[in-house]
Amino acid sequence: MGRAFVYVIVGGGVAAGYAALEFTKRGVPPGELCIISEEPVAPYERPALSKGYLLPEAPARLPSFHTCVGANEERLTPKWYNEHGIELVLGTRVKSADVRRKTLVTATGETISYKILIIATGARALKLEEFGLSGSDAENVCYLRDLADANRLVNVMKSCSGGNAVVIGGGYIGMECAASLVINKINVTMVFPEAHCMARLFTPKIASYYEEYYKSKGVKFVKGTVLSSFDVDSNGKVVAVNLRDGNRLPTDMVVVGIGIRPNTSLFEGQLTLEKGGIKVNGRLQSSNSSVYAVGDVATFPLKLLGETRRLEHVDSARKSAKHAVAAIMEPDKTDKFDYLPFFYSRVFTLSWQFYGDNVGEVVHYGNFSGATFGAYWVNKGQLVGSFLEGGTKEEYEAIAKATQLQPVVEDLAELERQGLGFALAVSQKPLPSTPVDGKTVPGLVLGKSLYPLHATAGVILAASIAAFAYWYGRRRRRW
């Protein structure tokens, strides 16, 4: 025996929360939508776990960061779901799925059937054991993916105040946890195998800025090596971290941030997978037309880059979820998902944003000894990625829009000279959206003809629109 719903979302994280809000905006009737989540709480803004949640003073606690406050939308408390007739099945793992029969079986033994399923199972933190190491179960070894991990981390931090921590991994989780540990008065050593932090995104120059900043806060970096084992005392606590380079780091606690793996296992052998995620089309629809996938678990076509990607970032979780619901509820009015990748982080008083893709040649700009600097990535002569630290709202919007437009860049030196001004000027142009000859003109093509950056003159010409060229020349003189 079990229950039947029109729409079921499996997974109750960021994407599920944004999907729920979108369902209600589009008039889902009470009783038709169900969310099943392994976590015992209603969907929340996961990024808060490594930021406000870890603060020693006035830390963020639920219900303050339930979705969708991260996008300045309504805060969906359990009461909200109740009032909207949305069934929240919390603290319940889905242990099997049958997409042919359209059923899910939960760990409590209930069978829940659906007409349309949205997979929003996100990802899980990779454990040391998956790399042939051991020690994850030691009481002072922490991960950070969900609320339970965050509570554990808070408790371990409290018991280690004034002590030492080793952070394994130099990515997002490592960097954000290291900053929080410092704020909690814990001495931090970061260990990672790469030559610099945030190796998948940062250039050596950008990384160097953040590493120097962290060093000024007392953080030590041990790079180019990895954990080989822990020394554990008779109480089962890690007391030292042994590294492959032979070094031994005495410690009071360990935080492990070595990557994530998308939660696809329920659907392996039933749906097409690609790049580690569930492959979906521009409507976020999987190889089974009744099943959609969103957020960290989905590999979707990125129109802008002409390839499929699986992203692990909150903005893509929010927007893919909203788009899937639009495609389900109003298929005739919903275009293909056209997403500009956006990542951000906030540590100490620093704050950066990145848009697009970090491939091709890099052009740094701004003042790397000051508070505002950035980088552009130019691939095959077009701007494809933009990074900015310390920007204003308008400046972040400008780099986003410029990246979306993908202007042609022929002179990298000139781009460096113009720096942020380049994005500010380019972003003044409205995004092309009007159909031409019955077809929608993508920004890519218009960008090419509107913004060639000429090597000799160092001038960005709007080659085909004279009025824009005149306006643009006036703008440029102001920089």
Tokens of 62: 């639920």
What's the CA gap between 13 and 36, in Å, rounded? Answer: 10
Among 8, 9, 10, 166, binds ligand FAD (CB under 6 A): 10
Select the span of 5-13, 111-119, 159-167, 402-410 touching ligand FAD (CB under 6 A). Answer: 5-13
Tokens of 298: 């989905």
> Which residue matches tokens 């056209």?
338
Measured in degrees and rounded to the nearest 5, phi and psi for residue 63 equal -90, 10
**C-beta of 170: minimal distance to ligand FAD in Å?**
15
Tokens of 138: 């030691």
**C-beta of 71: minimal distance to ligand FAD in Å?**
12
Among 34, 42, 54, 144, binds ligand FAD (CB under 6 A): 144
Helix (H, G, I), strand (E, B) or coil at 106: strand
Residue number closest to ligand FAD, CB atom: 13
Q: Does 227 bind ligand FAD (CB under 6 A)?
A: no
Which residues, at least 6 apart from 313, have a Cβ–Cβ distance to it below 8 Å? 341, 342, 343
Among 5, 8, 9, 11, binds ligand FAD (CB under 6 A): 11
Q: Which helix (H) or strand (E) holds 85?
A: none
What's the CA gap between 15 and 3, in Å, rounded? Answer: 23
Longest dimension (CA), the chain: 78
The residue (of 14 and 302) whose beta carbon lies closer to ligand FAD is 14
Among 343, 352, 365, 396, binds ligand FAD (CB under 6 A): 343
Q: Does 122 bind ligand FAD (CB under 6 A)?
A: yes
Number of residues forming the site for ligand FAD (CB under 6 A): 37
Conformational region of residue 468, where left means phi above 0, alpha means psi within -120 to 50, and beta covers everything else: alpha
- The answer to whether the CB of 295 falls within 8 A of the CB of 15 is yes
The residue (of 109 and 430) whose beta carbon lies closer to ligand FAD is 109
Tokens of 279: 């492959």
Helix (H, G, I), strand (E, B) or coil at 473: helix
> Residues 258-297 vs ligand FAD: string with x where CB under 6 A?
-----x--x----------------------------xxx
Selection from 77, 67, 74, 50 nearest residue 147 by Cα:
50
Among 42, 94, 166, 324, binds ligand FAD (CB under 6 A): 94
Among 22, 211, 252, 312, binds ligand FAD (CB under 6 A): 312
Select the span of 44-52, 224-232, 247-255, 400-408 touching ligand FAD (CB under 6 A). Answer: 44-52
Conformational region of residue 122, where left means phi above 0, alpha means psi within -120 to 50, and beta covers everything else: left
Subset of 148-177 contacting ligand FAD (CB under 6 A): 173
Q: Does 345 bind ligand FAD (CB under 6 A)?
A: yes
Residues at the site binding ligand FAD, with contacts judged by CB under 6 A = 10-16, 36-39, 46-47, 49-50, 93-94, 120-123, 144-145, 173, 263, 266, 295-297, 312-315, 317, 343-345
